[in-house]
Chains A and B, each alone.
Chain A
Amino acid sequence: MVKFEQVTKKYGKHQVVKGLNLSVKKGELVTLIGPSGCGKTTTLKMVNRLIEPTSGRIFVNGRDIMEQDPVQLRRSIGYVIQQIGLFPNMTIMQNITVVCKLQGWTREQCMHRAEELLRLVGMDPKLYLDRYPTELSGGQQQRIGVLRALAANPELILMDEPFGALDPITREQLQSELKKLQEQLQKTIIFVTHDMDEALKLADRIVLMKDGRIIQAAEPDEMLRHPADEFVTSFIGKDRLLRSPDEVFVEEVMHTNPVTIESYRGLAEALERMRKRRVDSLMVVDNKGVLAGIITIRVVQSNLTTGGPVSNYLSPPPAAVTVGQTVRQAVHLMAEQGAGYLPVVDEKNRLQGLMTRASLVDILTDVLWPDIKENGEPTAAAGKEEDR
């Protein structure tokens, strides 16, 4: 659908895009992502010739764009910008169908198309057709912005950080709507963003750019599993990377602030800490931080009148995992012991943290298998709450 061949853009001596090669398949949603100044927007704007390449060739539908009339080319490509850019002097209906009008549609055809599109995103045509952009919220305005790009039924749509100026909640809504529209209408979309979450959510393929070059172009899953280099890793963010349970260590996922009590403290203090942190047992550590055992609320309550330090009432510590062990090992241990939690200790048996079922759920959803998040989020979240 779109093909870049050795495309370069120079401003004076400064090369913004350097020998870019990329081809976008029909029906594919490709996100261009990268730090500011990486050339992603320039790359996008070269497709509809708002910026003309210095060298190289760009093909849309097999035709070299430099051999086409720029005005006709642009009318055949949808365009959505970050600042929304609805024309304040036109009604919503006029805004949506502005390209249709340029192409000579009749008023009836335009009206019909505008109604059809508004219904597509669940906006009542009667309510909105004759309004003006300033009467709409930012989110509604950008919905119209997207509809405007769809109106003349282009096969290709360019989006330049379309949701960047919206508040997070509206942004997520519009992302979901776009995803749905895309699945329904099978448009080819090139989407510029600097937000990795957005790219991961929307893209069929992510193209990560830096200094005018493509660093990696891959499906989201592939990019998370096999980032091409350090830059990709850091740009994606370590905690988003997909890793197997053998690669994640317990210290990365444990709670670092478990509820503990020093062995010389009294029972009343133990009870107070349990109450404060709402737990039914405490890890008992000695003055070197070494895990000595645990004390449960039942023991504390039945001996409260007797008194004395907690060290007199210790239960032996549960099985612990050591720093440097993997999550897989922890899961095995947890299953073996039937334990709800595991203390994490260092090689000198000093308490470092606590692995709970909740922290396992966290890594299941965040690190290991992010796909779960999409479909199984409610159950996972509910389980997490209970466990805590």
Chain B
Amino acid sequence: MDLLLMTLTTGIMVGGIYALVALGWVLIYKCSGVLNLAMGEMTLIGAYVSLSFYSMGVPFLLSLLFSLIIGFILGILTERIFLDRLIGEPVLTVIMVTVGLSFFFKGTVEFIWGTDTRVFAPPVFSIEPVRLGPLIIGEVYLWSFVAAIILLVVFVCFFKYTRWGLAMQATADDEMAALSVGVSARFVYAAAWAIAFMAAGVGGTLLGNINGLNISVGYLGLLVLPVVVLGGLNSVPGAILGGLIIGVLQNFCGAYLDRYFPGGVKEVAPFAFMAVFLLFKPYGIWGWERIERV
């Protein structure tokens, strides 16, 4: 019973981070229709930038802020240089450009920061676990979850109540209509990439605090794909729910199935689950079903 409860909470906490990164992904897809496979490398860049600032002695929150700023700039640059020219191109072209970007980012990150695991030193969060009633949670997990939730709320409020957010919603809903009432689509695309880059950076920083930072944190970017498929590609609540589900699923597989299938069940389970899930519900929980005509 204890194990069950522990696994569940850890799963939800990690799932919060997944949800945050998935939100960035869904945002790009909703606004510009780009299926982004470079998300993992975007998390890496954000994480390494904040780690670099932190090891230079900048306070953690400030270095996180710097990584947000750099993520913002990089996001706009990426959109302007590569993706802007590809509006209206076939899906495969756009996907492969993001794959190309992911290699470019990854190669650059490895070239600059190397492949050894780095840790945030001194540790940002204490290793003493926190007790919440019967639950024992690592402080890192708790804070990561809290941070992820705060950011999720901030982003959702941004979409609901600010002018820019409303413009983005309008473009996602119907690009033509949005253009006709004077929303700048180019601005919206750039904003979507900038926000996605920032969300990814925060997610990467939080994950880097849990297990140390190396290139495998970029694996998170692939994990985003089962999350968004589960929730439906163009649904923000779906991304959040999917993140939590995948987080829980992953931890349950790690806790219970690892005995029977030793090794990497935890890494493979989301993908296997996704492949099966697609067979039954290809549009996810809250995704829009596309009706095709000849």
Q: Determine if chain A interacts with chain B.
A: no
Q: Which residues of A contact B (CB under 8 A)?
A: none
